[in-house]
Amino acid sequence: MEGMDLRDVAILLVDDNANMRRVVSQILKAAGVRKIREASDGLEALKIFQAQEIDLIFTDLMMHPVDGLAFIRWIRTSTASPNPYVPVIMMTGHATQRTLNDARMAGVTEFLAKPLTARGVMHRINEIVNNPRPFVRASEYFGPCRRRKIDHDFQGVERRGAPQIEIQDALSEMDLEDVY
């Protein structure tokens, strides 16, 4: 993380809580970020995102009238989005498995649970800069690859392309009474 020059990185910080924006802004400024734009909800953020070049977005989950998930879905799927590939870090105080899954399905790049720490913020930025994930387009999803680790040495059939019939055949041949 040392040595990252963030002076020219434009960050959009979206949170309905002014104190949270101030805390994250101070962490970013301490890391050398000089271009920080702030919005108090997804609607205001949409206007900024369309008007200015943004390199990275930090957004809260729960906001009104437009929440973080709707904002991210717009970024990823709208034809009016100036950059559907922009990295997005979701911040939330409601870090449950469901919110994590919803955020991943919306196209979040990284996830941060509140209360935030400077180390956590910088770790997520480091992941985006040094370990960028390729983007995936599927019928129901567009966004960064949701796999954390890709095993480039994997020699078997592709996980998504594996015939399900083989798995079903193996399960039907098992005697479940032996398992339990």
**Chain segment 104-127, per-residue pLDDT in tens:** 999 999 999 999 999 999 999 999
Does 10-144 carry CATH code 3.40.30.10? no
Q: How confident is the model at residue 171 (pLDDT cuts 50, 70, 90)?
A: very low
Q: How many other CB atoms are found less than 10 A from the CB of residue 93? A: 14
Measure the CA–CA gap between 2 and 98, rounded to whole angstroms: 34
Residue 174 clears pLDDT 70, i.e. is over it: no
Q: Output the six-digit token pair for 62.
A: 């729960």
Q: Locate the domains of the chain by residue range.
A: 10-144
**Higher per-residue confidence, 163 vs 89:** 89
Measure the CA–CA gap between 131 and 122, rounded to whole angstroms: 13
Q: Output the six-digit token pair for 99.
A: 């919110």
Q: pTM for the complete prediction?
A: 0.80
**Chain segment 127-160, per-residue pLDDT in tens:** 999 999 999 999 889 999 977 655 556 566 555 5
Measure the CA–CA gap between 39 and 49, rounded to whole angstroms: 10
CA distances 80 to 51, 76, 77, 144, 152, Å, are: 11, 10, 9, 19, 35
Measure the CA–CA gap between 143 and 14, rounded to whole angstroms: 19
Q: Exposure pattern of 105-115 as b/e (b: 16+ CB <10 Å)?
A: ebbbbbbbebe
